[in-house]
């Protein structure tokens, strides 16, 4: 079977909802022993029930990725691992002069320190295991100027830089590290964002956001999961230190 993850233990942060849940579900389908790490007990429970119902091997861990002590304890409970997907993250709308210090710090704690904490906890395990694969969830915001996304863009730029650093530093340990940069993906977060910020105009604004991708629509969580599956599989064993746009042509075709 192509892209088999049989015998592999995979940790997916933020794996309880949206893109993370799609990755967790697909990895379990491909035979991985999936460990979902998420701050939301409700999301982890729902994801567990969904994956277990179809016979997948799944375990859930409630964890705040901004707390290194919590992260280390969680990874110690998980044990040896083969795959880490750093997917946990939050969004923010604001420019440099409209982003409060508290909001800036919150974005950095989750989207940058959270990634670092999970790298810090997982790399020794991957090294002792003889290697493994890391996927960091970046964003097109790391590469292009998006309006009103100052702190988010800064954080995702850091994720991209960390990806390259880790890929370089652990070549000799047979640890591959790549990042994925999606454009807009239709998740429950998008629906909640539209309801909160554009009441009564949800469908109108949804169409506007969808058409900002040259392909004419948003991506789906399943499409991001399929790319992640390829990158962690043995079929991608020659790939490290790269960022993968999955953006409906947004970066290259928006002139």
CB 40 within 8 A of CB 17: yes
Distance CA 135, CA 204 (A): 34
Q: Active-site residue 152, yes or no?
A: yes
DSSP element (H, E) containing 71:
helix 68-78
Q: Any idea what DSSP says for residue 247?
A: S
Q: Which residues contact 7 (CB under 8 A, 6 or more apart)?
A: 31
- The catalytic residue among 116, 152, 198, 230 is 152
CB 75 within 8 A of CB 27: no
Distance CA 88, CA 189 (A): 13
- What are the contacts of 77-81 at 24+ separation with CB within 8 A? 78/9, 78/11, 78/35, 79/9, 79/125, 80/9, 80/125, 80/128, 80/129, 81/9, 81/10, 81/11, 81/35, 81/122, 81/125, 81/126, 81/129, 81/132
- What are the tokens at 17? 């909802």
CB 233 within 8 A of CB 200: no
Phi first, then psi, for residue 199 (nearest 5°) are -60, 130
Q: Any idea what DSSP says for residue 236?
A: G
Q: Which of 142, 127, 133, 32 is nearest to 89 (CA)?
A: 142
Task: Give catalytic residue positions.
Answer: 152
């Amino acid at each position: 079977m192509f892209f088999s993850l049989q015998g592999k233990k995979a940790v997916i942060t933020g794996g309880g909802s949206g893109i993370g849940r799609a990755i967790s579900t697909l990895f379990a389908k491909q035979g991985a022993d999936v460990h979902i790490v998420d701050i939301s007990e409700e999301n982890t429970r729902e994801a567990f029930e969904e994956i277990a119902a179809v016979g997948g091997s799944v375990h859930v861990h409630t964890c705040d990725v901004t707390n290194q002590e919590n992260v280390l304890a969680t990874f110690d409970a998980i044990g040896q691992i083969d795959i880490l997907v750093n997917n946990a993250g939050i969004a923010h709308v604001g420019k440099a002069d409209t982003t409060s210090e508290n909001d800036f710090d919150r974005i950095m704690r989750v989207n940058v320190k959270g990634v670092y904490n999970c790298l810090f906890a997982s790399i020794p395990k991957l090294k002792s295991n003889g290697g493994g694969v890391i996927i960091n969830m970046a964003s097109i915001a790391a590469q292009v100027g998006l309006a009103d996304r100052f702190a988010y863009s800064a954080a995702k730029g850091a994720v991209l830089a960390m990806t390259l650093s880790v890929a370089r530093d652990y070549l000799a340990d047979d640890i591959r590290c790549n990042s994925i940069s999606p454009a807009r993906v239709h998740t429950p977060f998008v629906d909640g964002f539209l309801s909160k910020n554009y009441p009564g105009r949800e469908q109108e604004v949804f169409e506007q956001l969808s058409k900002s991708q040259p392909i004419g629509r948003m991506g789906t969580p399943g499409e991001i999961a399929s790319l992640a599956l390829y990158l962690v599989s043995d079929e991608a064993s020659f790939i490290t230190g790269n960022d993968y746009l999955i953006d409906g042509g947004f970066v290259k075709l928006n002139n």
